[in-house]
Amino acid sequence: DAGITQSPRHKVTETGTPVTLRCHQTENHRYMYWYRQDPGHGLRLIHYSYGVKDTDKGEVSDGYSVSRSKTEDFLLTLESATSSQTSVYFCAISENADNEQFFGPGTRLTVL
Amino acid sequence: AQSVTQLGSHVSVSEGALVLLRCNYSSSVPPYLFWYVQYPNQGLQLLLKYTSAATLVKGINGFEAEFKKSETSFHLTKPSAHMSDAAEYFCAVNMRDDKIIFGKGTRLHILP
C-alpha cells in the first residue's frame, strides 16, 4: 500500500472554528489531492497540488485553503467551519498527472 | 462538458452471478479510465486502469473492464460474484489535465 496517512481520523468541531487536516505521504509523489465524499455526490475535488508551493482549485474550493511547504505534507484548512462542510475528507497522491491516484484512509469531520 | 456517468446507484446480484457495473464518459481527448473500489470506512483502492493499451483490462479480484470508444463506455464485469465483492465502486476518468473526475458511485449488494 502507498504510504499515505491522514490526521486526525475523526474530528468534531463547532461552527465558526478553524480546522486543519493533514495529509502525509512517504512516496515522494509530485501530485497531492484533497477530496470530500458525500452521499449522492461521489468524490469531489477541493484543491490539488502539483509541487511544493504549487496548488490549484478544484470544483468545490469555496471555504477551503491549502498549503504545501514540503513534498510530503499537504494541509487542508477550513478557515471558519460550517455545517455544510461536515463530510469525509480523502487525500490522494499520484506520481504524475496521468497516473492512478492512491488514497488515504480518510478523515471524518463533523461540524456542529 | 467532460463527465462520468455510472448507471444505477445500487446494483444487486446473487452470489455466483455475473456482475456488470456500467460507466459512460464524455471527453474531448482520449481518456485514461479507472475503476476503484471502496469498502466500508476505508479509502478507495484501485481495481484496474485503461491507459490506451489493450482495450480489455484485467484487474484485481477477478474484475475486468472493456474500453469501447464507439460507445464511450468502460463497464466493469466479474463472471461470478462473491460475498466479499459487496462494496461501492467508482468509475473515474483522467482528462489529461492534472485531475480525475469520479462518477457518483455504484453500491454493489450480493444476495446469498
Is it true that the peptide bond before A8 is cis, omega within 30 degrees of 0?
yes
Cα-based distances in Å from B59 to B2, B17, B40, B88? 25, 18, 20, 16
pLDDT score at B1:
61
pLDDT score at A39:
87
pLDDT score at A1:
55
Of A40, A45, A50, the CB nearest to B104: A40
Is the per-residue pLDDT at B3 higher than 60?
yes
Of B9, B34, B96, the CB nearest to A100: B34
**Residue A75 touches partner B, C-beta closer than 8 Å:** no
- pLDDT per residue as tens digits for the range A2-24: 699 999 999 999 999 999 999 99
A100 DSSP assignment: P
The residues facing B44 across adjacent strands are: B38
The residues facing A11 across adjacent strands are: A109
B52 DSSP assignment: S
- pLDDT per residue as tens digits for the range B49-87: 998 778 899 999 999 999 998 899 999 999 999 999 999
Mean pLDDT of chain A: 94
- Distance CA(A52)–CA(A60), nearest Å, equals 22
Calculate mean pLDDT across residues B3-11: 93
pLDDT score at B54:
83
- Distance CA(B23)–CA(B8), nearest Å, equals 10
**Residue A64 touches partner B, C-beta closer than 8 Å:** no
- pLDDT per residue as tens digits for the range A31-78: 999 999 998 888 999 999 999 999 999 989 999 999 999 999 999 999
Q: Do B42 and A41 touch (CB under 8 A)?
A: no
**If contacts are CB pairs under 8 Å, which of residues 8-47 in chain B contact chain A?**
9, 32, 34, 36, 41-46
Amino acid at A48: Y
Calculate mean pLDDT across residues B89-103: 86
- Distance CA(B100)–CA(B108), nearest Å, equals 22
